[in-house]
Amino acid sequence: MSMMSDSDLGAVAGQPVVQPPSPAAAVDDPNAVYALGSSSGESARLQRQAEEFAPDSAVLLDGVGLRPGDSAIDLGCGPRGVIDLLAERVAPGGRVVGLDADPTHVAMASEFVARRGLSGVEVVCGDARGTGLESGSFDLVHGRTLLITVPQPAAVLAEMVRLARPGGWVAGLEPDTEAAICYPPHPAFDRLCEIFTVAFSRNGADPHFGRRMAELYRQAGLEDVIVEVRAGVYPAGHSRRTIRADLVRSMRSQIVEMGLADQQELEELDTAARKHFEDPDVLVMPGLYFLAWGRKPASV
């Protein structure tokens, strides 16, 4: 697991960054298995994603009924995640933890917390597969677009269930990219979708994970599992409209390394697809988004 020392992390914008104990089980670098790689472009995309998914995430969090004084953790929070949405719902007196394996995102999330003046929030650097945090210590364990990006999502989900208190909740939002629509069609979009599926799956991640959420929640022992599906159609100028092209950009170095396409083809595809998306009459639905939440049995 990739971890920074206390001296490396320090205090960011007045907010302490705390590390949990290193788990013995997670021996490989969690950042190495993250399907979308690490880059400034990917960090910026995750920042946009927080705004884009805020309405759906609010529905999800309201579904579990967080109350003032509750405790919640956002696993794989990236540079922001749903930290602010959680803090709003558990204040006053509540506790929120944001956890991410990328030290850059830990620093960015800490800066976000300080800038927003959020109280009762800490950001830690750690591996979602084995956090080292105390079992049963959260009323809600949340992960957004997390399980889709790792090769063994059931292992992460097991850790989420472990962290939830008996009677507490596990909740998340995960995409399913198979049902992507661009109409009228364009060969550049089709080619980007083809490249994306192969590159995203290179480490064992499942780009169609969303449909499996409810099944894995139940297999993990959760009860009262609820699942909802969202299908967004985005107008010209909306950042979700170009998400497939943006994701391919995030993985460009891996795509070239795999021999799926060279830099010239990727530039040409990117330019052609974005030009097509600029036409307001073109319909773009980049995929489905599954929201799921389930309760840990009170008797556990």
pLDDT at residue 13 greater than cutoff 70: no
pLDDT at residue 19 greater than cutoff 90: no
Question: Using H for helix, E for strand and C for coil, what is the string for 211-266?
Answer: HHHHHHHHHCCCEEEEEEEEECCCCCCCHHHHHHHHHHHHCHHHHHHHCCCCHHHH
- Which of 20, 16, 244, 259 shows the shortest CA–CA distance to 129? 20
Q: State residue 40's pLDDT score.
A: 66
| CATH class of the structural domain 6-177+206-232+289-295 | alpha beta
Q: State residue 250's pLDDT score.
A: 87
pLDDT grade, residue 157 (50/70/90)? very high
pLDDT at residue 204 greater than cutoff 60: yes
pLDDT at residue 45 greater than cutoff 70: yes
Q: State residue 4's pLDDT score.
A: 30
pLDDT grade, residue 71 (50/70/90)? very high
Q: State residue 300's pLDDT score.
A: 58
Q: How far is CA 209 from CA 215, 218, 249, in A?
A: 11, 15, 21
pLDDT at residue 30 greater than cutoff 90: no
Lowest-confidence pick of 3-12, 55-64, 184-193, 209-218: 3-12
Domain extent listing, the chain:
6-177+206-232+289-295
